[in-house]
Each structure stands twice: as structure tokens, then as C-alpha cells.
Homo-oligomer: A and B are copies of this chain.
Amino acid sequence: MSQDEPNDFATALHSHARDVEALLRELLSSRPRHGEIARPERLLAAMRHGVLGGGKRLRPFLVIESAALFDADREAARRVAAALECVHCYSLIHDDLPAMDDDDVRRGRPTVHKAFDEATAILAGDSLLTLAFDIIADPAPDSDAGRLPVDRRLELVTALARAAGAGGMAGGQLLDLEAARSRPDEAGIITLQAMKTGALIRFACEAGAMVAGAARPDRERLAEFGSAVGLAFQLADDLLDRTAHAAAMGKATGKDRAAGKATLVDLHGAEWTRRQLSGLVGQAHDLLSPYGGRGSMLRSAAAFVAQRRS
């Protein structure tokens, strides 16, 4: 990595986050879209609370930079990135509910059910999930920019649904809830994590290639890259959960251990985990080698995920 790259990466991360934030704000405006009847203000306020003004926007970054690797339409990538962020934030809203992880704080602010109430939080999550599919399927009629061919949009709907649903993220959350009781072995933990956090990160990277209409080998390479990044993300998270203070994370920490849920860090220790992280970054970089210098942002992203401190 050259001396300049870390700084470029930070700038790009911030810039993409701002672009996606602007689009999300627009998508969550009070004006009903064609086919909608009315948009209740309290529901929109809860959706905005859960989505706007927070987070590194890692998944959107991965969509946009994976798409850029293949010279895809930037506006189309931004839309898919916004849709994916809606799915990610819906999952956080529902995950924070008293019946699930019961968290009061997220990104240093009250969770949606604390700022509003439980029923509103449930409906805000439901509505964000629904909106995600709307965003991808919609032809973005105001301009030609961002208007993907119908077959690509449809493919993205299917891929997002499978990454997010019972066979992906939602299924992973269920396995995670069961983990305190079912005590999964190493293979079980890996599957759980590949579903709960891995599936959306993998989708983020593959989606960029899909937006671009890239060839199948490219799509598969980006999906594999996403799997490596997703696993690194989870290992770094588990490491942080063991060591970081709640203030640095902006959320409660150490809860998984308190709940008796084992992670790979518990099984193998911090040293092993750091070696794994380094190996995953190497693997991610290797997967990008066909793209030469064009892959530098994604290489930085993989390193960032593995090394993050919050």
C-alpha cells in the first residue's frame, strides 16, 4: 500500500457516505411515490432515525467501489448502495428490540424503539426492508442516469432477497439467538456468521459487479472477495467485543460473552484471530490482482475492515 492510499480511502469513504446519505434523505421524503397513498410522518421520522446520520456506510462503499471497478453507472450503483443500507439498518432496528438483543444505544444515539416505541420500530424496520426492493426495482424515472436494464434490476432483487432472508441474514440472526442454548461448534459458528453478517457484505461486493453487468467470473471473484471481507469484519468485531470499551463502539460490548455465546476468538484466542485477519486480507488482495491498480480502493477497504478499532 502506498503512503497516499489510506488518506484517499478515508476521503472516498466519507464522500460515498455523504452521497448515499443524500439519496436516502430524498427517498425518505414525505411526498408519496406513485402507487402510495400517504406517508405517515411518525413512521418516516422513525425510518430516518434508523437510517440517516450515522455509520461508516461500509456496505454502500463496497457496492460503489465494486461497481467502479467495472466502470458501472455511478448513479445506479448509488441506488443499489442505498437499498442495501436500508436492509442493513432495518436489521439493526429489529435486532435492537427488547425481544432480540435489547439495546438502548446505537451509534451513540437512542435506538429506534427507545426514541419512538416498539411498535413504531417494528414497522419502521418492515418499511425499510420493503423500500429496499422498491429502490432497486424502480426505474428511477427522473433521468436516464441510474436506469439499469430490467434483467439486472431483477437479478439484484433476487440476490438481495436471498442474502437478506431466511437463508441469509435473517436466518443468521435466528441462529445467533439460539447460539447461547445450542452452543454451535466451529463449523456452526462459521455458518452463523456467514449468514448474519457475511451475506450482506458478500452481496455488496457482488452487487457492484451485477450493476456493471460484469461477466460471471468477475462476479464470482467479487463475491468471494466479499466473503473474505465479511469474515474479516466479523473476526474484527469479535476481537473488539472482547477488548473495546462501549464508548468506542457506540453500543454495548461484551454482551455475547455474557450471554454464553462463543466466537472464534473465544475458541482460538486473539493471536490466532489476528493471524486469520492478516490471511484474509491477503486473500482479498489476491482476488483483486486481475484488476491491478483499479482495485486499490477495495484493497484498502479490506485492510480497513480487518484493522478497525471501532
Contacts and interface: CB of A to CB of B under 8 A. Distances in A.
Interface string A161-181: 111111110111111011000
How many of these chains are in the complex? 2
B154 A137 contact: yes
Contact of A35 (B123, B151, B158): B158
Given A37-B167, A117-B99, A122-B97, A161 B130 contact: yes
Contact of A167 (B38, B126, B150, B163): B38
A81 interface: no
Interface residues of A, number: 62
Interface in A84-123: 90, 94, 97, 99-100, 117-120, 122-123
A168 B122 contact: no
B130 A36 contact: no
Interface string A34-73: 1111111011100100000000000000000000000000
A157 B127 CA distance: 14
B125 A166 contact: no
A157 B37 CA distance: 17
Contact of A134 (B32, B39, B137, B162): B162
A227 to B, nearest CB: 10
A87 B268 CA distance: 43
Interface string A132-172: 01101110000000000011011001110111111110111
Given A35-B162, A123-B177, 19 more contacts: A35-B158, A35-B159, A35-B163, A36-B167, A37-B168, A37-B171, A94-B126, A97-B99, A99-B118, A99-B122, A100-B122, A120-B174, A123-B173, A123-B174, A126-B126, A127-B166, A150-B150, A150-B154, A153-B154
18 contacts: A34-B162, A35-B163, A35-B168, A36-B165, A36-B166, A36-B167, A36-B171, A39-B166, A40-B171, A43-B166, A119-B174, A123-B170, A123-B173, A127-B166, A127-B170, A130-B166, A131-B166, A133-B133
Interface of A: 32-40, 42-44, 47, 90, 94, 97, 99-100, 117-120, 122-123, 125-127, 129-131, 133-134, 136-138, 150-151, 153-154, 157-159, 161-168, 170-175, 177-178, 191, 194-195, 199
